[in-house]
Structure 1
Amino acid sequence: MLAGASSHTSSSKMSQGIFPTSRIGNSEFPYSGASSFSQPIADMNDNDETDLLSISWNQDYDCFAAGTSHGFRIYNCEPCKETFRRDLKCGGFKIVEMLFRCNILALVGAVANSHYQPNKVLIWDDHQSRCITEFTFRSEVRGVKLRHDRIVVVLEHRIYVYSFTDLKLLHQIETLANPRGLCCISHNKNTFVLACQGLRQGQIRVEHFGLNMTKFIDAHDSQISCFALTSDGLLLATASVKGTLIRVFNTMNRSLLQEVRRGVDRAEINSIAFSQNVQWLAASSGKGTVHVFRLTVRVSGEDSLTQPNAIQGPTLFHQNSSSSLDPLISPNTGANPNSSLSFMRGVLPKYFSSEWSFARLHLPGNTRFIVTFGSQNTVIIVGMDGSFYRCSFDPVHGGEMVRQEHVRFLKLCVHHHAIC
């Protein structure tokens, strides 16, 4: 019996054929067996209204999943297009977690779902139209994260890590109260790093599972509201409920590498994202603003031979890596190119010396947005109001971002209410 979990059942054993070659986003899907889901539909201009319960990126950030009061939908990002959906008569899903673009998803039912309860995690194989396994807990599931080899389930006070191949429980982590299900994991095959709240306010716990190493980072004085890892887990960006500062840490030695400032007044930071090349950091706030910061942290590894000017720092070894090339992380001591006060660093108070955003965008309305980076210096923004934005920024001069695409990807109910 698991502490905090009443049962852990599998509807069928995990086999080597669990990951068929089908990919979400393809036009053809084979369906077999009974399923309570309807057939997929690919039409963004429908008239059926629904409630949007959640939005989340896949691990490559090239598509996103929307949990609705009727089921879930999957969208491509460039361009924004619905690829398929599944609808239920019994209710919707409050958590929909993709596994890259393959046919496996993790689903958690909404409170109004009469068949799938919010204390259960379903691992759904859309290729076979069936539930592969089911996890049941004593309390409500707050979050789920997937890797090719792991399933991470987040409860309010505990995190469970399971093997994807045999469903065995591998790790249990106790956390501070975590009603929002804050947790992030690395996605590189060679490293498995997990970041979550510690047991003290403002503290982040980082697990380097491949190295059997735990680090505690005292990131903020206030409660943590948002954080993100790079795909290899070597950098961590954090924000507190104040929402004025975002800090970037080295997860290996806990050192603070950079501090950037969103603003001077309080605002909830809803989403943080690193660019794939780790040159930029984006953040969205509850004030409808999106900020892009230039990272002064240099990361060199496999491409270090092609970047002779890359600054070398303390070696950070890849966990379980077959490569002899090790990533190197060090702070760039150059001044913030966007700050006219850089010559007075160390003299002015911290308010002036923290680095301000390089590019920015203000969006209409009052909604929660999540953000990521697209191709060719673009930022992709998805809102809980059913809006999608793709904006570009000037990598040399910064300033105001330019809207390249704006789509209403989901028509929402005028009067939000629970649907059974």
Structure 2
Amino acid sequence: MATLSASPSPNPNPNFRSPTDQTDHDPESLPHMELHPSSDQDPTPNSNPNFHAVLPTPPEAIAPAAAAAPSLLHISFNQDHGCFAAGIDHGFRIYNCDPFREIFRRDFDRGGGIGVVEMLFRCNILALVGGGPDPQYPPNKVMIWDDHQSRCIGELSFRSEVRSVRLRRDRIVVVLEQNIFVYNFADLKLLHQIETIANPKGLCAVSQGVGSLVLVCPGLQKGQVRVEHYASKRTKFIMAHDSRIVCFALSQDGQLLATASSKGTLVRIFNTVDGSLLQEVRRGADRAEIYSLAFSSNAQWLAVSSDKGTVHVFSLKINGGSPGIDRSQSASDPVTSPHSSLSFIKGVLPKYFSSEWSVAQFRLVEGSQYIVAFGHQKNTVVILGIDGSFYRCQFDPVNGGEMTQLEYHNFLKPEAAF
């Protein structure tokens, strides 16, 4: 169900670009959203006192910043990793990564927890889902927020809780426990519905490069991923692991897929076109929970974070040997992953000893949850913690080893520098 309403309004927020703005990072323009009241709007008011209705007057919905540090419910990068969003127990915040600064915040005055905030590059459109003990919106609804108007301009309602949302300039992808819905961004028309195995984490990835949409989600079997190539109308199933899939990531163009299972020891990189295994790298020998995977913009590097408190950077040796993929590196960029010191007896001892290990590492607090992405500066990594920590680090692509910490902030503290 989609209910839409809109009214023209000037942009009060200079930190956001309008949907039709174009930048160096996102050259493809956004679709114009024709928003009209829908005839299928639910006439029944929300009777659940734990949910707050959409407030029609923006000033009533915005309160002064809380004096105490908020509780963090959600963190996520935008599509080019230049910004990140934080859903908190009384609103949401948007931050720039380099230089680090808060771009803006919305604080709701009656609780107002936001459990999912999905950005669309740097434009004014956001997708919000209520969360926490006192959610601002029902957790089974996706609210389309327009910061030009400082209010919600549309919503998508479902029969069960929304686990995650993914945005492209032309699509909205909503992930439920066992279903995924793909909508046209311009009019919220349902285009595709996919059934998945139980997916409590809301795993889903969509390509962001200019061109056709590639969508990856869990399949219907344990360890299986499903790849939808919408341009060619092809579906590819890949048996990526024997164990349950817990994390995956797509390259910007959608041609490379990195996957990790519940064992957390190996990460595999696949060609999404033919499903072939291109490379396998080893995070470690003992079990771990992989929290995030991220490709660099040129798919030369892969970053991995886990509950072991270490962020790893791996070198990807993807070349023209795979159909539709050509990422051969220049001679000036040595990108060889180190191998086990016992790799000279490869084939004699177990595969562990000939595994490809990370080029660079950064040590964090073990047990805490972190997500990772590559920064816009060369050879830099940005790390976000569920405790509000922000790290920007640099790795040596030639010598590897421990990364150098360039910057640290706690973005939840009121005194954080903007």
Asked if these proteins are the same fold (TM beyond 0.5), I'd say yes
Where does structure 1 lack aligned partners over 5 or more consecutive residues? Answer: 1-7, 27-32, 299-311, 317-326, 413-420
Q: Pick from 96, 102, 109: which aligns with 1:89? A: 109
Separation (CA, whole Å) in 2 of partners of 1:23 and 1:354: 49
Separation (CA, whole Å) in 2 of partners of 1:406 and 1:267: 25
Alignment pair present for 1:38 and 2:62: yes
Match of 1:303 in 2: none
Q: Pick from 127, 141, 149: which aligns with 1:106? A: 127
Please list every run of at least 4 consecutive aligned residues from structure 1 whose deviation after the TM superposition is greater than 6 angstroms. Answer: 17-23
Alignment pair present for 1:279 and 2:287: no
Match of 1:55 in 2: 75
CA positional deviation for 1:11: 2.4
Match of 1:364 in 2: 365
CA positional deviation for 1:106: 0.1
Contact 2:62 2:109 in 1 (8 A): no
Match of 1:344 in 2: 345
Matching residue's letter, 2:396: D
Contact 1:94 1:108 in 2 (8 A): yes
Match of 1:64 in 2: 84
Separation (CA, whole Å) in 1 of partners of 2:133 and 2:340: 50
1:295-346 CA-partner distances (Å, limit 9, x unpaired) = 1113xxxxxxxxxxxxx33442xxxxxxxxxx53689xx9744443444333
Match of 2:392 in 1: 390
Alignment pair present for 1:208 and 2:229: yes
| TM-score of the two chains, using structure 1 as the length reference | 0.82
Contact 1:335 1:342 in 2 (8 A): no
Q: Pick from 150, 153, 156: which aligns with 1:132? A: 153
Separation (CA, whole Å) in 1 of partners of 2:64 and 2:186: 28
Contact 1:21 1:102 in 2 (8 A): no
The RMSD of aligned alpha carbons is 2.6
Q: Pick from 257, 264, 269: which aligns with 1:236? A: 257
Look up the SS of the partner of 1:243 in the other structure. Answer: coil
Separation (CA, whole Å) in 1 of partners of 2:264 and 2:92: 31
CA gap 1:221/1:23 in 2 versus in 1, 3 angstroms: farther
Alignment pair present for 1:328 and 2:326: yes
Match of 2:34 in 1: none
Superposed, which structure 2 residues align to 1:173-212 within 5 Å?
Answer: 173-212=194-233
Contact 2:2 2:188 in 1 (8 A): no
CA positional deviation for 1:115: 4.5
Look up the SS of the partner of 2:407 in the other structure. Answer: strand
Match of 1:407 in 2: 409
CA positional deviation for 1:21: 11
Separation (CA, whole Å) in 2 of partners of 1:271 and 1:18: 38
CA gap 1:365/1:253 in 2 versus in 1, 3 angstroms: closer
Alignment pair present for 1:289 and 2:310: yes
CA gap 1:315/1:244 in 2 versus in 1, 3 angstroms: closer
CA gap 1:404/1:335 in 2 versus in 1, 3 angstroms: closer
Separation (CA, whole Å) in 2 of partners of 1:18 and 1:172: 34
Match of 1:321 in 2: none
CA gap 1:344/1:114 in 2 versus in 1, 3 angstroms: closer
Q: Pick from 317, 321, 341: which aligns with 1:313? A: 321
Q: Which has the higher contact order (CA 8 A, sep 6+)?
A: 1
Superposed, which structure 2 residues align to 1:100-179 within 5 Å?
Answer: 100-113=121-134, 115-179=136-200
1:340-370 CA-partner distances (Å, limit 9, x unpaired) = 3444333332111221111111112531100
Q: Percent identity?
A: 60
Matching residue's letter, 1:74: I
CA positional deviation for 1:235: 0.2
CA gap 1:314/1:256 in 2 versus in 1, 3 angstroms: closer
Matching residue's letter, 2:345: M
CA positional deviation for 1:24: 4.1
Look up the SS of the partner of 1:10 in the other structure. Answer: strand
Contact 1:54 1:68 in 2 (8 A): yes
1:27-75 CA-partner distances (Å, limit 9, x unpaired) = xxxxxx722432797xxxx842210001000001011000000100001
Where does structure 2 lack aligned partners over 5 or more consecutive residues? Answer: 18-55, 330-334
Matching residue's letter, 1:79: P
Matching residue's letter, 1:54: H
Separation (CA, whole Å) in 2 of partners of 1:115 and 1:290: 34
Look up the SS of the partner of 1:352 in the other structure. Answer: helix
Superposed, which structure 2 residues align to 1:256-275 within 5 Å?
Answer: 256-275=277-296
1:161-213 CA-partner distances (Å, limit 9, x unpaired) = 00001211000000000011011100112020000000000000000111101
CA gap 1:114/1:238 in 2 versus in 1, 3 angstroms: closer
Paired residue total: 370
CA positional deviation for 1:20: 7.3
